[in-house]
Amino acid sequence: MKEQYPSYKIKDLLKLTDYGKIVNLKGWVRSKRGNKQLAFIAMNDGSVIHNIQVVAELEKFDEETIKLISTGACLSVNGSLVESPGQGQQVEIQAINIEVYGTADAAIYPLQKKGHTLEFLREIAHLRPRTNTFSAVFRIRHAMSFAIHKFFNDRGFFYLHTPLITGSDAEGAGALFQVTTLDMEKPPRKEDGSIDYAQDFFGKRTSLTVSGQLEGELGAMALGLIYTFGPTFRAENSYTPRHLAEFWMIEPEMAFYDITDNMNLAEDMLKYLITYALEHCIDDLEFLQKMYDNELISRLNFVLANPFERLAYTEAVEILMASGKKFEYPVGWGTDLQSEHERYLVENHFKKPVILTDYPKEIKAFYMKQNPDGKTVRAMDVLFPKIGEIIGGSQREEKYDLLLNRIREMGISEKEMEWYLDTRKFGTAPHSGFGLGFERLMLFITGMANIRDVIPFPRTPQNAEF
Ligand code: 4AD
Ligand code: MG
């Protein structure tokens, strides 16, 4: 079929009102129904959640073509734009000619029927983007990525690319995935029997990064305000609906910010992203609300309307201990908070997002700024309804001696951290930063319950298909 008519995305077609205009559209069949005279073909091209209806008068088409048009097939349609007599849509297309790009045999196409469970769809991750649910989620995912760049760019931050392969494992944020080209069957060995990493690709032991923060700090000490936004990898055996082995993280790092500036930025950013979603993704949000979570949009608005509660870890532990609630993991000063504790504070006690600060130093990373009490550090975790921790961050220890002491206390190799310590040796500055888990944000924005359903190809223990 010659391309003789202007081609439109369905998103734009649905807004046209110049009836009689002949247009071209390309997309996939969501359903076909009809009678003896007419076929009604619902088409979607991914540009928007809504389908457009193509009406074909059977007498104008050969039977063979019409037979090939089934759910999942890909078509190019020329047709004229007409006002739709049906409810719920302004326009439809009266087909003039139809080219079938690709068929989808109804007997074997897995998405032939509607209403599959999310669990089933996870098993066909190569096809699930074609469902309404996943196309909505992935459009929102795009919008959130774009909004993150816009938020930081508008505020003078620079996007810094930190390495994915790293030779330092000091962050201690999670177990590492090793990167090697050594023959795993027969690795070269030193005299003492240990593996000789000098012969590995990089001449040392390397792994996939768990965070871009430490390198991000190097950038902040030159550019002032930076952020990273990239994949991070943690080999934790966590089978929870909130953990992935490969997830995306946004990590801003700001020279001259203290913990309060850091909290303000985190709260502003989250509210900006929620606002952006409400303004740009409302069709998709309404669809997800209808299908999965009838409080979704009111929850988003609620978070916007209220300042986040800010309090110290010590106070939070007191609240939890006084709550009388029986937690699966008992809580006491010094214990790391579990998601059940975080959610109790957010959902039952304060009934709004919470920022907890000043955690015991033993349960936090070595780089966090030490408080004068000698027991706590200037950490901040942002806790959200239904999610628990969505952001983790801190003011950083900028004093060379204090940082070095902590590195030694924690048994981290001083030599390996020389490059990092140099930031405190040369022109050190007070600074802060945090990490937002992008898929945790996506869980909150979409109302989806499982983190595997907000990333196109989830990597979790025992699962790395495609
Ligand atoms: O709290 P985390 O471990 O903090 C850091 O990595 C710091 N270096 C961040 C910084 O200060 N620049 O991780 C940050 C966030 C968590 O709050 C959570 O939202 C997300 O990353 N996250 C995960 N998301 C999905 N799957 C996992 N396994 C995650 N682990 C952490
Ligand atoms: Mg954390």
DSSP conformation letters of 124-171:
TTTTGGGSHHHHHHHHHHHHHHHHHHHHHHHTT-EE----SEES--TT
- Greater confidence (294 vs 174) lies with 294
CA distance 338 to 356: 13
Render 8-22 in DSSP notation, one character per residue.
Answer: --HHHHTT---TT-E
Say which DSSP state 373 is in: T
List the residue whose alpha carbon is closest to atom 31 of ligand 1.
Answer: 437
Residue 338 alpha carbon to ligand 2 centre in Å: 11
pLDDT-derived band of residue 87, with 50, 70 and 90 as boundaries? confident
Contact indicator for 174, 235 with CB cutoff of 8 Å: yes
pLDDT in tens, 255-308: 999 999 999 999 999 999 999 999 999 999 999 999 999 999 999 999 999 999
The CB of 433 under 6 Å from ligand 1? The reply is yes
CA distance 402 to 366: 10
Residue 331 alpha carbon to ligand 1 centre in Å: 22
The CB of 130 under 6 Å from ligand 1? The reply is no
Point out the ligand 1 atom lying closest to the alpha carbon of residue 440.
19
Ligand nearest to the CA of 363: 2
User: Residue-wise over 261-299: b if at least 16 C-beta within 10 A, else e?
Assistant: ebbebbbebbbbbbebbeebbeebbebbbeeebeebbeb
Res 382 pLDDT > 90: yes
Identify residue 122 by its one-letter amino acid code.
Answer: R
Ligand nearest to the CA of 238: 1
CA 395 distance to own-chain centroid: 24
pLDDT in tens, 331-343: 999 999 999 999 9
The CB of 439 under 6 Å from ligand 1? The reply is yes
Residue 280 alpha carbon to ligand 1 centre in Å: 27
Contact indicator for 251, 349 with CB cutoff of 8 Å: no
Point out the ligand 1 atom lying closest to the alpha carbon of residue 252.
12
pLDDT-derived band of residue 371, with 50, 70 and 90 as boundaries? very high
